[in-house]
Amino acid sequence: MLKNYRMKIALAQLNYIIGDFDYNTAKIIETIQSAKKQGADLVVFAELSVCGYSPRDFLEFSEFIDLCEVSAQKIAAACSGIACIIGLPTKNPKVKGKDLYNSAYFIEDTKVKAIVNKALLPNYDVFDEYRYFEPAVNFSCVEFMGHRIALTICEDMWNINDNPMYVISPMDELVIENPDLMINIAASPFSYNHDEERVQILGDNCRKYRLPLFYVNQVGAQTEIIFDGGSLVFDQDGSLLDELPYFSESLKIYSFEYGKIIGHKPIVHDTQNNIQQIHDALILGIKDYFAKSGFSKAILGLSGGIDSALVCALAAEALGPENVMAVLMPSEYSSDHSIQDALDLVNNLGCKHEIIPIKEAAAAFGNMMNPVFKDLPFNVAEENIQARSRAVILMAMSNKFGYILLNTSNKSECAVGYGTLYGDMAGAIAVLGDVYKTQVYKLSHYINREKEIIPENSIVKPPSAELRPGQKDSDSLPEYDILDGVLYEYIEHKKSSAELIAMGFDVALVKRILRMVNIAEFKRNQAPPILRVSPKAFGIGRRMPIVGKYLG
């Protein structure tokens, strides 16, 4: 029998820093106190909120796990007159199995009342949880204020489609105890189509189990992985009742009474344009990479082309134009128009800039290599010397002035290896490495939605590396709209060459593009971390052998 019919639940959508226990603990306690003042009975935080998601091999250090527990106890001590749910790794008391669980603590009046362990441990794409955690096999609801709560952790609610990845579903076990509501704490990474998938999956859970759901996701970027927030509340019919903001922190309180969420009517999911989402994700990714690393100033090479122009505009928006240094490094093959386009962008943004020509450096390298190169014709070797000369300049300024180098290569270039190792592929973080060239154009137009920031000429002129006379990207690559069509199907949808050909793509074109992608793996293996905005990004989400013959 219910002892208290009304319960106020606060969803805390916060931005954590991996391994910064003082910061995370203080933020959680402050939020608990704020929620308490607003009348909340229970405040819910995200998966692994105590340590940040994902700590990866930090989890192999016993001190790290101990510090998680110390933080949890500090949070518990501050949780007086209110309850909270926090996420953290905990020790597995059994000898058999992995040493840790991915857990949730249910804390009430300064005591850990219940511990719930995650059962479904994702081990695909960017996830690697089974490397560290033991899956839960026992399931029980949590009692609070006369309500029975089915508490689960992220992936535990995703085994509901027609092709289940796991042999059990925790909610199938928990529903036996007749819970009144579901709460799911998550660390669900952003990709431009993932918000719609989340709404569908979570709504399907409500419809299947005939229960309302409170879902909290974290927000913020952790190196290349971006979390978009967008925490959700559903009724038992699977209708969406509320949706917290995307790409920002939020705290909101809901009233739960007699098995229902009071004061909210069904709403339509706020479906954002993919390009707008990518833009917002990249801004957050840049901001958090710098802030969480303790840096504030960025540097990049500005060529007058669209890729570097877009990165410069994004960096200026994320960090402030006063913290962005754009370096123009014209070669003897750079057009006057490219230099002017770069200068126009700098003037539009108000960022800092320097002009450092590389002609003398490239000539010096040429003279130095003449005894070895002899009379061999000009080729990619001389082109790459120019690109690497630019990298030397950028890294010298980085070392001298404390700038962090932003890489400007796009996903199309990364895919086919159209870039110079230790040259234009250098950088601490790749801003556009998960953005196809065709999306770069769309993002540039989005940047210019209110006024011209990126010069129109940078957008409309044929792309070129300008490393030899009259060079164009199309000399070496298919046109980008065609190239990106094949790349998207091959990388995101994992289509084989036979499937691509059956879709109508030219046989020779498919074989050429797939070969370029596969032989460039050694370059991608040495590329900087890439801000992930798609369902399948290069880096930890796509793991291929460097030496291999399979071409898809």
Binding site for ATP: residue ranges? 301-308, 408
Using DSSP's 3-state secondary structure scheme, residue 81 falls into coil
208 is catalytic: no
- Cβ atoms of 6 and 53 within 8 Å: the answer is no
CA dihedral (438, 441, 447, 453) in degrees, to 10, reads: 160
Residues annotated within the binding site for deamido-NAD(+) are 384, 413, 523
154 is catalytic: yes
- CA dist 530 and 295 (Å) reads 18
Catalytic residue among 27, 36, 118, 252: 118
3-state secondary structure 165-198: CCCCCHHHHHHHHCCCEEEEEECCECCCCHHHHH
- CA dist 222 and 188 (Å) reads 12
- Cβ atoms of 153 and 46 within 8 Å: the answer is no
Please state whether beta strands 219-222 and 225-228 pair in parallel, antiparallel, or not at all (unpaired).
antiparallel
Q: Distance from CA of residue 360 to its chain's centroid?
A: 40
Closest of 402, 389, 404 to residue 356, by C-alpha: 389
257 is catalytic: no
* C-beta neighbour count of 98 within 10 angstroms: 17
Using DSSP's 3-state secondary structure scheme, residue 104 falls into strand
* DSSP 8-state assignment for residue 422: T
Catalytic residue among 84, 141, 154, 206: 154
Residues annotated within the binding site are 124, 188, 301-308, 384, 408, 413, 523
Catalytic residue among 47, 129, 243, 466: 47
> Strand order in 147-153's β-sheet?
142-144, 147-153, 181-186, 213-217, 232-234, 240-243
- CA dist 66 and 30 (Å) reads 22
Residues annotated within the binding site for L-glutamine are 124, 188
Backbone φ, ψ for residue 78 (5° rounding): -90, -5
Instruction: Please give the positions annotated as active site.
Output: 47, 118, 154
